[in-house]
Amino acid sequence: MFKPDAPFHADVAPRTIQLGRLRLREDIAFADKKGKEKKGKRKAAEKSTSKLQAPLETFVESDETILYFVPVKSPISQLEQLTYGVFVHSVCATVLVLTERRFLHLRITGRGKWKEIISECAWSDIAEVKVKGWLSAYCQFVFKNGKKAKYWGIRRRDSTVLAKLLPLLIQSAQADIAPGVFVTSLCPECRSRLTAGVYQCNGCQLLFKNEKTVLKLMYLPGAVHFYCKEWGLGTIDVLGEGYLVLGFIGSLLLLFDALKRTSADVASAAIVLGFFCVLLSIDALISYAHGRRFVREFISTHRKAETATLSRSMAAGGTIG
pLDDT of residue 291: 96
Sequence-distant (≥ 6) Cβ neighbours of residue 272 within 8 angstroms: 251, 254, 255
Measured from the Cβ of residue 77, the count of other Cβ atoms closer than 10 Å reads 11
Measured from the Cβ of residue 161, the count of other Cβ atoms closer than 10 Å reads 23
Provide mean pLDDT across the span 201-229. Answer: 95
Separation between Cα atoms, residue 16 and residue 14, nearest integer Å: 7
Among the ranges given (168-172, 195-199, 269-273), the one the predictor scored with the smallest mean pLDDT? 269-273
pLDDT tens-place string over residues 5-62: 999 998 899 999 998 899 999 999 998 888 898 888 888 878 878 889 999 999 999 9
pLDDT of residue 43: 83
Provide mean pLDDT across the span 88-98. Answer: 95
pLDDT tens-place string over residues 107-155: 999 888 999 999 999 999 999 999 998 778 999 999 999 999 999 999 9
pLDDT band at 292 (very low <50, low <70, confident <90, very high): very high
Closest CA to 112 of 52, 42, 31: 52
pLDDT of residue 245: 84
pLDDT band at 321 (very low <50, low <70, confident <90, very high): very low
Provide mean pLDDT across the span 217-224. Answer: 93
Task: Identify whether the C-beta of residue 182 lies closer than 8 Å to the C-beta of residue 188.
Answer: no
pLDDT tens-place string over residues 242-262: 888 888 888 888 888 888 777
Separation between Cα atoms, residue 146 and residue 127, nearest integer Å: 9
Residue 306 pLDDT greater than 80, yes or no: no
User: Among residues of the chain, what percentage have pLDDT more than 90?
Assistant: 63
Strands 136-143 and 148-155: antiparallel
**pTM across the whole model:** 0.86
Sequence-distant (≥ 6) Cβ neighbours of residue 291 within 8 angstroms: 211, 214, 217, 218, 224, 225, 227, 228
Average pLDDT, the chain: 90
Phi and psi of 210, rounded to 5°? -135, 165
pLDDT band at 320 (very low <50, low <70, confident <90, very high): very low
pLDDT of residue 147: 94
Provide mean pLDDT across the span 264-284. Answer: 88
